[in-house]
Amino acid sequence: MKQVLVKQGQVVVEEVPAPLVEPGTLLVRVDHSCISIGTEMSGLKGSGIPLWKRALTEPDKVRKALAMVATQGLSHTRGVVEGKLHSGNPTGYSAAGRVLEAGEGIEDIGPGDPVACAGSQYAHHAEIIRVPRNLAVRIPAQLGFPAASTVTLGAIALQGVRRARPTLGETFVVIGLGILGQLTVQLLRVNGCRTIGTDLDGARIALARGLGMGYGVHPDDGVDVEQVARLTEGLGADGVIITAATPSDAVVSTAFRMCRKKGRVVLVGDVGLNLNRADFYQKELDFLVSTSYGPGRYDNAYEEKGVDYPVPYVRWTENRNMAEYVRLLAEGKITVSPLVSAVYPVDQASAAYESLKKEGPERPLMVLLSYPDASGGASPSRTIPNPFAVPTAPGRIRLALVGAGGFARGTHLPNVQALSDRFQLQAVASRTGTNAAAVARQFGAAYSSTDYRELLADPAVEAVLIATRHRLHAPLALEAMRAGKHVLVEKPLALTREELDPIVAFYGSGEPREGRPVLLTGFNRRFSPYARAIHEAVKDRTSPMVLNYRMNAGYIPLTHWVHTEEGGGRNLGEACHIYDLFTFFTGSRHTSVTARSIVPATGQYGRRDNFVATVSFADGSVATLTYTALGSNDYPKEHLEVFVDGKVIVLENYKRLSLFGSRAKGMESALPEKGHREELAAFARAIWEGGEWPIPLWQQVQATEIAFSVEDSLFPGCPPG
């Protein structure tokens, strides 16, 4: 399918795989989409700014980049940054079309229904989009797709009016008569208010007057504050809604001075906010900010998980604002056709954006994109070839990637490239088509897809690297193994015993039988040169060990996906690394697991954030993990002490290994070496040579079961996440 992308200051239209429907979402074939002059043009301009200039205005990103250089090296950081720059970003957040498929859990909208869609993460300029239920509304029968495609802009304007709380007969000033201002004027008129509009462009004032605005104020008419006073019989406006976009602070100051005592000012646009106390203090004005489409915006539970707000407590959510706007359009109370300057076919998206760069009277208010009619019913293509694919080399393991997130792009795929004598990237699958296609181009894969089943059905694919969010690891690994593919699945292997049991059953009793695919869980730390050196130092020990591991994990907000059912929490999602290390060093079965956590005094931390787990092994060794989010990021993340046979072995953040009581030499490196590349190399050897796996199955299972036992101790009877 065709999709519009922004790349380094340019607009391009590319072929990308169409998305798959998911539970709680709608798959929509777009008929028209609306280009946001403000938001999108700002993003387009920003994408063309050189990196050094961006660094001056985005110091937080610079600090992140420097931290990445310190921990992963300059070449790795450069590859990550360049990959992001060249992949492009989807754009668009307002569209309308017909439903192709309704995901599980949606019963009120079905295939064939016309819908209007919103959301900068979803309602892109693309032939097919996937939209959560709460970001889509049914279009009334008498309303066409072009008008309905403005739903996002309409909901933004409507929310701004709601924040102003207009009452019948009041007088409101609208500052800035761009598209949001034009819609705001009409919505105020529908509310029975008198309206005054101000703009630097006389043509926009005339247009608003033609659509029902009472009065227009232009700079040539005199001082705007004085004009408003005259038009309100000296009282001042009951309220002002700012829909302008300018860095100037004067706009807010002017709005305050236009108001009567105890009036209100609502900010919808983007203006300077250095406030002058004298402008609003004596009048006791209310200053309100309107956040986008309405309540629910930026709330993951509402937008993505479909958790609605009850009507008695939140009458107007963003979805209900969208529905009300299209109803007003259908009833003819709001008119948008005079505001649409042009409609461009999606193939001409670059020309559409170019038209928006015009200045003065020729600059359009609003431009739409139209999409090809697909009434013939052709199925959307979810797999597309990569024209820049690297030619297939003989003797390489043809690898498919499922889940092309930041970790896969920043760590696994550069390592696959570095091991090009062993691996050939055959395919990339991601839930987002633009990401799948971009990663395939960057790393030379033969094709990209949004349907992982296409990869599993491909006879050319010999092995699969699974790097999705945690809840998909076990089911995808099992499906890939049943398809005869070797599997490297990122940790954790599973989030529940119910997920783990079928994987164990697949291989039968004992160790995996010959002819079965290799399974390797991404417990990379055991492949680190440091971990290998420790293993070598303790393999001939004469007594049990005491192992103390400390993970200064750092704080992650509880709203992050790692803490949800998708991630399973930090014990299952990250601490399993350390349970595998304990198993690797002891080479022994575990006999007992106990764990205690801090009961958070505030809602900032979860009970999986800070805990101590102790594992006893059949050989008599005892291992303790202290896992905490309470510490400072300025302190190293990981530290291990091993006490055995009169020796002390200390590992500091995978950068330094010291041995006390031994003549053996330690190790040191400039950067942490956590074994990611060595893990991939071991995976290749196991596939080529057969025989012993890089991690025996029982050890992969044991690390996972220890994590389950820790969960049982911390949360008896509770599911993860």
One DSSP character per residue, 503-550 reads HHHHH-SSSPPTTSPPEEE--GGGGSHHHHHHHHHHTT-SS--EEEEE
With a cut of 90, say whether residue 720 has pLDDT above it.
no
Residues 529 and 633 in one domain: yes
pLDDT at residue 98 in the model = 97
Compute the distance between CA of residue 651 and CA of residue 533 in angstroms, rounded to an integer.
10
Give the dihedral sign, CA 602/67/6/435: negative
Q: Which two tokens stand for residue 285?
A: 């004005």
pLDDT at residue 54 in the model = 55
Compute the distance between CA of residue 679 and CA of residue 525 in angstroms, rounded to an integer.
9
266: nearest Cα among 424, 159, 371, 359: 159
- Looking up residue 69, the CATH number of its domain turns out to be 3.90.180.10
Is residue 429 assigned to a domain? yes
Calculate the CA dihedral of residues 158, 162, 165, 166 and round it to 10 degrees: 20
| Tens digit of each residue's pLDDT (9 = 90 or more) over 329-341 | 999 999 999 999 9
Q: Band of the pLDDT at 511, cuts 50, 70, 90?
A: low
* Mean pLDDT of the 105-131 span: 96
Name the burial class of residue 233, with classes exposed (0-12), middle (13-18) and buried (19+) by CB atoms within 10 angstroms of its CB: exposed
Please state whether beta strands 397-402 and 423-429 pair in parallel, antiparallel, or not at all (unpaired): parallel
One DSSP character per residue, 248-292 reads -SHHHHHHHHHEEEEEEEEE-SEE-----HHHHTTTT-EEEE--T
With a cut of 80, say whether residue 46 has pLDDT above it.
no
With a cut of 70, say whether residue 45 has pLDDT above it.
no
With a cut of 80, say whether residue 43 has pLDDT above it.
no
Is residue 58 assigned to a domain? yes
Please, are residues 477 and 507 in contact by the beta-carbon 8 Å criterion? no
Please, are residues 485 and 464 in contact by the beta-carbon 8 Å criterion? yes
Residues 456 and 488 in one domain: yes
Q: Which two tokens stand for residue 188?
A: 């105020």
* Mean pLDDT of the 443-459 span: 97
Q: How is residue 571 annotated by DSSP?
A: I
pLDDT at residue 689 in the model = 86
* Mean pLDDT of the 129-151 span: 97
Task: Considering only CA atoms, give the Rg of the chain.
Answer: 30
Residues 536 and 674 in one domain: yes
Is residue 636 assigned to a domain? yes
549: nearest Cα among 632, 612, 594, 629: 612
With a cut of 90, say whether residue 163 has pLDDT above it.
yes
Residues 538 and 651 in one domain: yes
Please, are residues 572 and 492 in contact by the beta-carbon 8 Å criterion? yes
Q: How is residue 140 annotated by DSSP?
A: P
* Mean pLDDT of the 183-195 span: 97
Mean pLDDT score of the chain, rounded to an integer? Answer: 92
Q: Band of the pLDDT at 359, cuts 50, 70, 90?
A: confident
Name the most confidently modeled range: 35-49, 371-385, 447-461: 447-461
Domain termination site, one of 480, 514, 548: 514
* Mean pLDDT of the 590-607 span: 90
Q: Which of 70-79, 444-453, 579-588, 635-644 comes out lowest in average pLDDT?
A: 70-79
SS (H, E, C) 356-396: CCCCHHHCCCEEEEECCCCCCCCCCCCEEECCCCCCCCCCC
Q: pTM here?
A: 0.89
- Looking up residue 452, the CATH number of its domain turns out to be 3.40.50.720
| Tens digit of each residue's pLDDT (9 = 90 or more) over 91-110 | 999 999 999 999 999 999 99
Please, are residues 322 and 137 in contact by the beta-carbon 8 Å criterion? yes
Q: How is residue 168 annotated by DSSP?
A: T
Domain termination site, one of 514, 549, 568: 514
Compute the distance between CA of residue 568 and CA of residue 474 in angstroms, rounded to an integer.
13
Residues 6+ apart with CB under 8 A from 691: none
Compute the distance between CA of residue 122 and CA of residue 94 in angstroms, rounded to an integer.
9
Is residue 295 assigned to a domain? no
Task: Give CA angle at 31 (179, 151), nearest 5°.
Answer: 35
With a cut of 60, say whether residue 55 has pLDDT above it.
no
Is residue 168 assigned to a domain? yes
Is residue 260 assigned to a domain? yes
* Mean pLDDT of the 235-249 span: 95
Please, are residues 241 and 159 in contact by the beta-carbon 8 Å criterion? no
Name the most confidently modeled range: 68-77, 173-182, 298-307, 710-719: 173-182
Is residue 114 assigned to a domain? yes
57, containing H or E segment: helix 51-57
Compute the distance between CA of residue 529 and CA of residue 527 in angstroms, rounded to an integer.
6
Give the dihedral sign, CA 697/703/708/709: positive
Residues 6+ apart with CB under 8 A from 450: 17, 18, 19, 20, 382, 383, 429, 430, 431, 432, 433, 436
pLDDT at residue 715 in the model = 84
554, containing H or E segment: none
Please state whether beta strands 89-90 and 366-370 pair in parallel, antiparallel, or not at all (unpaired): unpaired
With a cut of 70, say whether residue 531 has pLDDT above it.
yes
Q: Is the peptide bond between 517 and the residue preceding it cis, with omega within 30 degrees of 0?
A: no
Q: Band of the pLDDT at 78, cuts 50, 70, 90?
A: low
Residues 6+ apart with CB under 8 A from 229: 235, 236, 258
Half-sphere exposure of 430 (CA within 13 A, CB side): 19
Residues 109 and 225 in one domain: no
Residues 400 and 281 in one domain: no
With a cut of 60, say whether residue 52 has pLDDT above it.
no
| Tens digit of each residue's pLDDT (9 = 90 or more) over 646-675 | 999 999 999 999 999 988 889 999 999 999
User: What are all long-range contacts of 252-255, with beta carbons under 8 Å and residues at least 24 apart?
Assistant: 252/279, 252/287, 253/279, 254/175, 254/224, 254/225, 255/173, 255/175
325: amino acid identity, one letter: Y
Is residue 380 assigned to a domain? no
Percentage of the chain lying above the pLDDT 70 cut: 91
Please, are residues 570 and 609 in contact by the beta-carbon 8 Å criterion? yes
Residues 706 and 568 in one domain: yes
Residues 485 and 578 in one domain: no
Residues 510 and 544 in one domain: no
One DSSP character per residue, 68-120 reads HHHHH-HHHHHHHHHHHHHH-EE---EEEEEEEEE-TT--SS-TT-EEEEE-T
With a cut of 80, say whether residue 38 has pLDDT above it.
no
Q: Band of the pLDDT at 380, cuts 50, 70, 90?
A: confident
Size of the chain in residues:
721
* Mean pLDDT of the 252-275 span: 95
With a cut of 70, say whether residue 580 has pLDDT above it.
yes
- Looking up residue 635, the CATH number of its domain turns out to be 3.30.360.10
Compute the distance between CA of residue 195 and CA of residue 172 in angstroms, rounded to an integer.
5
179-to-81, 545, 560 alpha-carbon distances in Å: 35, 71, 35
* Mean pLDDT of the 489-510 span: 93
Calculate the CA dihedral of residues 605, 607, 609, 611 and round it to 10 degrees: 140
Q: How is residue 446 annotated by DSSP?
A: S
Q: Which two tokens stand for residue 236?
A: 């001042």
| Tens digit of each residue's pLDDT (9 = 90 or more) over 295-337 | 999 999 999 999 999 999 999 999 999 999 999 999 999 999 9
Give the dihedral sign, CA 431/468/718/601: negative
Percentage of the chain lying above the pLDDT 90 cut: 82
Residues 577 and 447 in one domain: no
Q: What is the domain extent for residue 458? A: 388-514
Q: How many domains does the chain have?
A: 4
Residues 131 and 262 in one domain: no
Q: Band of the pLDDT at 517, cuts 50, 70, 90?
A: very high
Helix residue ranges, H only, 100-223 = 145-148, 151-164, 179-190, 202-210
Q: Band of the pLDDT at 66, cuts 50, 70, 90?
A: low
Compute the distance between CA of residue 372 and CA of residue 84 in angstroms, rounded to an integer.
30
Give the dihedral sign, CA 437/441/446/452: negative
pLDDT at residue 191 in the model = 96
Domain termination site, one of 243, 262, 289: 289
pLDDT at residue 680 in the model = 98
With a cut of 80, say whether residue 74 has pLDDT above it.
no
Please state whether beta strands 486-489 and 366-370 pair in parallel, antiparallel, or not at all (unpaired): unpaired
Residues 395 and 345 in one domain: no
Please state whether beta strands 10-15 and 423-429 pair in parallel, antiparallel, or not at all (unpaired): unpaired
With a cut of 80, say whether residue 256 has pLDDT above it.
yes
Helix residue ranges, H only, 462-496 = 473-482
Q: Which two tokens stand for residue 231?
A: 């038009």
Please, are residues 606 and 563 in contact by the beta-carbon 8 Å criterion? yes
Compute the distance between CA of residue 457 and CA of residue 476 in angstroms, rounded to an integer.
13
Distance of CA 284 to the CA centre of its chain: 41
